[in-house]
Structure 1
Amino acid sequence: MGETIAGITIPDSTLAREATELVRDAATELVYHHSRRTYLFASLRGQERGLQWDAELLYVGAMFHDLGLTERYRRDDQRFEIDGADIARDFLQQQGITPEKAERVWAAIALHTTPEVPMHMAPEIELVSRGVELDVMGIGYDAITPEQRAAVVAAHPRPDFKNGILAAFTEGIRHRPETTFGNVKADVLQHFVPGFQRTDFVEVIRGFRLAAESVSDPELPALQQPARVGGLAQVGPRRRR
């Protein structure tokens, strides 16, 4: 049997142990402890909601969800959530897990920063999001008991976690600002990266013009069509010559 924290047993299979080893090797202590708390809080929320889930799949989803922020695994051409999702899917397939289950974990990680959508999907997908939301933003704080919260934090402390996780977000995505369009990480770069300008969704719509549409149309002001979405290349008005 695996370790039990706040009444939740940590999976102790070969797959779970190898997942833990991979995360410990690649991630900081802050990300490791956050990921373990995510699993524990996710499981507690699952109990509270009366859900049934695959503990191994939930564990991998929780443990791998921030690997896209790490120096070893982060890429520069896609969102960090997709980095972690891809790593988890490859890991599970190498372990002989069925494609359907691997895709479930992929979705859990890829969608963990997308509000509401995961709550209408498979339990593992929903619960990864609920675990992350509780540990990072306090959403669902009162759904578990003070004793449960204390046991989780005693096992996996969070000293200066708020500043630490914001720094990890910034470092993991500052080199790919265009991937923050339409998601919460634009808020992070707005706060911590000088010169960052978020892309305005309304201006993107107004700036796009099909060939058949008149430039003089008052509903379609002459705007610069964005060369890329997000980051430092903000869409804005262009003077007519």
Structure 2
Amino acid sequence: MPLDDLVPRSAAAALALEVAERFHSPALLNHCRRSHLWAAEYARARGIAVDAELLYVAAMLHDIGLVPAFDSATLPFEEAGGAVAWVFAAGAGWDADRRRRAGEVIVAHMAEAVDVAVDPEGHLLELATGLDVSGRRPDDWPADFRAEVLDRFPRLDLAEEFLGCFTEQARRKPSSIAGRLVAGGFAGRVRANPLDAG
């Protein structure tokens, strides 16, 4: 399946990409785009029913709490990003349940594991970001698909940029998930990501 066929065509999806392009660095933007493709392809290959537009919006906005304009002094970045997603969804005219879900999916992406039966979009985004950031379970995606995605959306300096963001989150919010990950050897896993092996 062509990569573009995995991207939903809707006004909300287009606006989410516009927001991501406006506020993310090139490396974080490509990370968001790859994360969506990993998630959408994983769902397609396994027949996981998903709200494609919700998944796309959440993927585009899942790290927006790391960027200076939306970095909260007190909230973990995933909670700040979830709040941004709620506001985005309200502006897009989504009903109250979908607004709530947009925030939940973004918060869920930082969980250690998410039950696909309870939260399919959160499950998919958690798996996808795990692959893209620390190289978890790469064989869950075919090698040719991985190569196509990486060619279309290169990794640039994602590893060091992401580590810088997480280190700063950990410094200011040591009890957050980011803080616990940094204290637990996160940097080594990120730098050893097989997606960066070429």
Q: TM-score range by the shorter chain?
A: 0.7 to 0.9
The 2-side partners of 1:55 and 1:109 are apart by 14
Tell me the TM-score normalised to structure 1 length: 0.70
Q: Is the 8 A contact 1:104 1:125 kept in 2?
A: no
Q: 1:8 to 1:179 in 2, by over 3 A?
A: farther
Alpha-carbon distance in structure 2 between the residues aligned to 1:147 and 1:76: 41
Which of these residues, 99, 120, 123, is aligned with residue 120 of structure 2?
A: 123
Provide the residue aligned with 2:173 in structure 1.
177
The equivalent residue for 2:75 is 78
Structure 1, unaligned stretches of length 5 or more? 193-241
Amino acid at match of 2:102: V
- Tell me if structure 2 keeps the 8 A contact 1:118–1:129: no
| % identical aligned pairs | 30
**Cα distance per residue 1:27-63 (max 9 Å; x no partner):** 1111100000000000111123220111110001111
The structure richer in helix per residue is 2
Specify the code of the residue in structure 2 equivalent to 1:50. G
Rg larger for: 1
1:129 partner letter: E
In the TM superposition, residue 16 of structure 1 has moved relative to its aligned partner by 1.0
Contact residue 104 and residue 122 of structure 1 kept, 8 A: no
Residue identity in the other structure for 1:188:
V
The gaps in structure 2 that reach 5 residues or longer are 187-198
Q: 1:161 aligns with which of 158, 162, 173?
A: 158
Show CA shifts across 1:182-214 (max 9, x none): x2533426779xxxxxxxxxxxxxxxxxxxxxx
Per-residue Cα deviation, 1:198-238 (whole angstroms, up to 9, x for no partner): xxxxxxxxxxxxxxxxxxxxxxxxxxxxxxxxxxxxxxxxx
> Aligned residue for 1:204?
none
1:9 matched to 2:3:
no
Q: CA deviation at 1:179?
A: 4.0
TM-score (normalised: structure 2): 0.85
Distance in 2, matches of 1:38 and 1:188, equals: 21
- Is the Cα contact below 8 Å between 2:81 and 2:106 reproduced in 1? yes
Structure 1 residues 1-241: aligned runs within 5 Å:
4-5=2-3, 8-171=5-168, 173-174=169-170, 176-180=172-176, 183-188=177-182
CA-based RMSD of the aligned residues comes to 2.1
